Structure 1
Amino acid sequence: MADEESSDRQSAATAEQLGALLDEYESFTGQSIDRDEYAALKRAVETDVVPVTEADRSFFVLGSYDDEDRLRLVADRLESVGKPFLLKDLEAFDSVLRWTTQFKVMANRATHIVALYEHSEGGHEWEAGWLDHRPYREKFTVLKRDYPDLDPREEPFDGMFAHFVETVAALDRVHRFEAPTDASPAEVERGVETCVSAYKAELLDER
């Protein structure tokens, strides 16, 4: 009986998320899903979306995949307080949705979005532009690397990206750690862990 109830809940959750995702897909792309894509999308919803939406607290971890080990570090440290995930983890989506659509879909569903920013190179600059909208601001937090050996204007963030981070900081949603340009990987990782610990403490205080 318990297994049947669990299966029924899973089916209902899949149906609900699938319907919402089909609407979003058409809104984001201006196209409709064909029959073959529908089956793949349903599988993706079951494996990638429902576990996120069913979690009490979920974390969409963003940043540069050139620094994936550090993104994984953020995700690992957040596991004790919720369900973290990277866009790269959503493999079932790859055959159906472009990464930009995947990003928009999951940004809508995660309860929290956490970005590790050490520079403004790569696709996360596009992501920041999308997140600079009211629906996301209250659930978006930045973990930012400061470079004590550089003038702030010389840090590896272009002007638009730096302005975006300061906009988030004005909302008191930025945690900072210091690591100079010649910092060792271990030193940077310690800074990241300190930031994540402060963020987790903040989350637990909100309960």
Structure 2
Amino acid sequence: MCARLDDRRDAVAFRLEEFGFDADDLDLWAPAFEVLSSQSTWVVGVIEDFDGGHVWELGYLYRRQTSVRDVLWLLKRVYDDPETQRAQYENGMAASHLAALEAAVGDRVVEWATLDELESAVERIP
């Protein structure tokens, strides 16, 4: 998705990982995110599951980043099968953070189930 967004005219898309942060630089992630997102027109989160550090990231976005919430778009994957959906999003704390973020950003949450739908979802972002 980053490349797809970057192809837009007058757009520069990037992932924080591209700045070379590794596990030893974890304390730099939050300040770097704050600086970069404060200069961004839109911040786009693509969420497929809760595998990884999503609890911290979602909580950070909701609790600390009111300015980011104002420009945040969430592209959230939904699964047709309820068991698969539950398995992919099985983390109560992350789920509560995501629900709070979804409520905060309102109509800037776009659900998708297939890669084709993800492509269409990106088109909704200005």
TM-score with structure 1 length normalisation? 0.48
Provide, for residues 124-157 of structure 1, a one-character-per-residue CA deviation record: whole Å limited to 9, x for no partner.
3322111114222111111001011115972522
1:85 paired residue among 14, 18, 21: 14
Q: Pick 1 or 2: higher relative contact order, CA cutoff 8 A, min separation 6.
A: 2
Whole-angstrom distance in 2 between the partners of 1:125 and 1:106: 21
Which whole-Å CA distance do the structure 2 matches of 1:146 and 1:155 have between them? Answer: 12
Q: Which amino acid aligns with 2:97?
A: F
Which residue number corresponds to residue 159 of structure 1? 92
Query: Scaled by the length of structure 2, what TM-score is found?
Result: 0.74
* Matched ranges for 1:57-96 at <5 A: 74-79=1-6, 80-81=8-9, 82-91=11-20
For residues 12 and 100 of structure 2, the distance between their equivalents in structure 1, rounded to whole angstroms, comes to 27
Larger radius of gyration: 1
- Residue 44 of structure 2 corresponds to 114
Aligned residue among 64, 68, 82 for 1:136 = 68
Q: 8 Å contact 1:143–1:174 — kept in the other structure?
A: yes
Residue 119 of structure 2 is aligned to residue 193 of structure 1: yes
Alpha-carbon shift at residue 87 of structure 1 (Å): 0.6
Q: 154, 166, 173: which one pairs with 2:108?
A: 173
> Matches of 1:146 and 1:153 in 2, distance apart?
7
> Cα–Cα, structure 1 residues 102 and 134, in superposed 2: closer, same or farther, change >3 Å?
closer
Deviations 1:26-45 (A, max 9, x none): xxxxxxxxxxxxxxxxxxxx
Partner letter of residue 163 of structure 1?
S
Of 149, 156, 159, the match for 2:81:
149
Displaced runs of 4 or more, over 6 A: 93-97
Percent identical residues? 29
Q: 1:105 to 1:125 in 2, by over 3 A?
A: farther
Q: What do you get for the CA RMSD once the two structures are aligned?
A: 2.7
Show the counterpart of 2:31: 101
Alpha-carbon contact 1:114-1:143 (below 8 Å) kept:
yes
Contact 1:147 1:155 in 2 (8 A): no
Name whichever of 133-142 and 155-164 sits farther off. Answer: 155-164
